[in-house]
Amino acid sequence: MSDRSQEDEELSHTQVLADVEKQIEAVCNQLQSLQRQASRLRRLREEQEVYDSMSEKMESMQLSTKVNLNVGGQHFTTTVHTLTKEPDSMLAAMFSGRFPMKPAEDGTFFIDRDGTYFRYILNYLRDGKLSLPEGATFFEEIEAEAEFYQIQGILEELGKPRPLKSADRGAKATEPFAESEILTQEHAKILLGMVPYKTGGWRLLFRASRDGFAAESFHSKCNKKGPTLTVVRRGSFIFGGFTEAAWIGGRRPNSERFKGTQSKQAFLFSLVNPFGVGPVRIPDEEKESGCVIVCDSKYGPTFQQDLKTYGKSYLYISDNANASPSSHSCLHGKFSCPEGKPGDLFFTGSKNFTVDDYEVFELY
């Protein structure tokens, strides 16, 4: 072998060894990096375990911590556990520990609010139910306090049918819907058989021909009332709907366009229709009732499958319904009309219609 060839071979071996050394060095660096990461992970796990242990101890101590409140001059004693039971409420935010709070010199936390009804708020947080004295009439005051403290559970409770006062039972219930200018006595008796409440009387809240056809007039008279029965007249045709849930006004941002309330006992009805079908409850009593009542301030009484199916209402009464032909019905699914009858024509014979009059009654 020539000297030249031998030198080339030695250079080649040297280069190979250099490449191998670099690869070994790179692997060693990677191993060291992995070891450092593993070490950091171990430290983080250890720190997390210490933190979790301390959090559990702090939470245990916090839940049993006694709290003295001064609500508008009235004093209450409770615990952090009670005040944070409704996680989305203002009280939960105040005492969650996320915000620095210092008591007054006397050791109380002051809330600048009338304390008259706060005990009902506090008892709800303790017991999980709203307990009011028999014959209570201060529902609006309780609702205002629940809205201030952002306690959704109480607002939902207030949407349920209110207990009847003993003075409201009896004679008036024998003359159902006596104030109606749309219903005959026979119609009134039929409707009384359809609604799920067999005691109490029905008080006229609203009549469009008297109070105005604007949606805001309907909401001004009927919001926060319930259960209610809406009776609509178009020519000789009479129909409407029932809901145990309360109507609410207002509008949401465009991203959540409509306000709505779930009504578990809602149903529609037809007393007189263009197809000659006798009085009918939709759905019938063998099927599950319920839908969403749309509580938009620009809408009259509206019963809809849900808030996502805009434009497919079971029944929609429009703003200024006597002049606007936008009112419509679209009966489908569990709210289907009698077999063989068109769901969008059943109530009035037209897909869209104006309204001659409508009335809303409240069970009391």
pLDDT digits 0-9 by tens, 249-296: 655 444 445 567 888 899 999 999 999 999 999 988 778 788 888 888
pLDDT at 170: 43
pLDDT tens digits, one per residue of 11-67: 667 776 777 778 887 778 887 887 888 778 888 787 777 666 655 544 444 445 889
Instruction: Tell me which of 4-18, 91-105, 220-234 is least confident.
Output: 4-18
When the pLDDT of each residue in the chain is averaged and rounded to a whole number, the result is 82
Mean pLDDT of 74-93: 90
121-135 mean pLDDT: 87
pLDDT at 166: 43
The band of 327, judged by pLDDT with boundaries at 50, 70 and 90, is very high
- What's the pLDDT band for 97 if we cut at 50, 70, 90? confident
- pTM of structure: 0.56
What pLDDT sits at residue 136?
74
Q: Give the pLDDT mean for 80-99.
A: 85
Look at residue 1 and tell me whether its pLDDT is greater than 80: no
* pLDDT over 90 at 241, yes or no: yes
Distance between CA atoms of residues 257 and 302, nearest Å: 15
pLDDT tens digits for 179-227? 999 999 999 999 999 998 877 789 999 999 999 999 999 999 998 887 9
pLDDT of 109 over the 60 cut: yes
Query: Cα(250)–Cα(167) distance, rounded to whole angstroms?
Result: 34
Q: Which of 329-337's residues contact partners 24+ apart within 8 Å by CB, and which partners?
A: 329/239, 329/268, 331/268, 331/282, 333/305, 334/283, 334/287, 334/288, 335/268, 335/282, 335/283, 335/291, 335/305, 336/282, 336/283, 337/270, 337/277, 337/280, 337/282
Determine the pLDDT at residue 352: 95
Question: For residue 10, what pLDDT band results from cuts at 50, 70 and 90?
Answer: low
| Confidence bin at 135 (pLDDT 50/70/90) | low
Mutual orientation of helices 139-149 and 118-127 as an angle, nearest 10°? 70
For residue 84, pLDDT beyond 60: yes
pLDDT of residue 322: 97
pLDDT for the residue 307: 62
pLDDT at 68: 92
Is the pLDDT at 173 greater than 50, yes or no?
no
Q: Is 121 helix (H, G, I), strand (E, B) or coil?
A: helix
Q: For 16, phi and psi rounded to 5 degrees? A: -65, -45
pLDDT of residue 226: 78
Model confidence at 9, pLDDT cuts 50, 70, 90, reads: low
